[in-house]
Chains A and B, each alone.
Chain A
């Protein structure tokens, strides 16, 4: 079964600081990779996704993520965070070519980002 690890449970940054949130997954086959964000009181929203092609993907609000296949990683980055980026961030993976539950999204435990004004 696949699994997703997010190593940072809570990250606190000042505005304008750079952000990198780690995400590692375990699955040997082809995967789709996602970052979701949940702002306070809101629903989960897709931030960005990787299916194939350029391993550096750009999402909304200036976020980007890089898929490094050899490291089984899909870290999320933003060069300069804003107070409004305060939210919980979830990395997720699915294996569309697999059978059973591997085809469904597997989430990491989430990283709470707090940006201080």
Chain B
């Protein structure tokens, strides 16, 4: 069974540009989460989808971040325009049930904004 996959694994962009990260959850997992780790600090929750609906987006830092999950399958996270402080590792995770008891994580996307 394929795990959670994220693309790209690395992205280097200039300040002001746009970047779109993609996450493919494990097939059949309705719950999809985005997390971010900035500058070696703690991994922070960004948002949670249940199928195509945003269940909780309280962790989204500002309106430069837009997450979508059209059709309830893969999800994208767009940063527009990117700022220096957006650099970090963006993790995606999925689970069959809500509540965070059994999350499967992707390998993350390392985003560097120069």
Chain A residues proximal to chain B, CB less than 8 Å: 4, 32, 36, 41-46, 49, 51, 90, 92, 94, 96, 100-101, 103-110
Contacts and interface: CB of A to CB of B under 8 A. Distances in A.
Contacts of A108: 42
B101 A96 contact: yes
A42 B42 contact: no
Contact of A44 (B41, B98, B105): B105
A90 B42 CA distance: 9
A11 to B, nearest CB: 15
Nearest to A32: B101
Interface residues of B, number: 26
Given A4-B42, A43-B108, 12 more contacts: A32-B101, A36-B105, A49-B101, A96-B101, A101-B56, A103-B98, A104-B33, A104-B45, A107-B42, A107-B43, A109-B40, A110-B43
Interface of B: 3-4, 33, 35, 40-45, 48, 56, 58-59, 91, 93, 98-103, 105-108
Contacts of B35: 105, 107
A32 B100 contact: yes
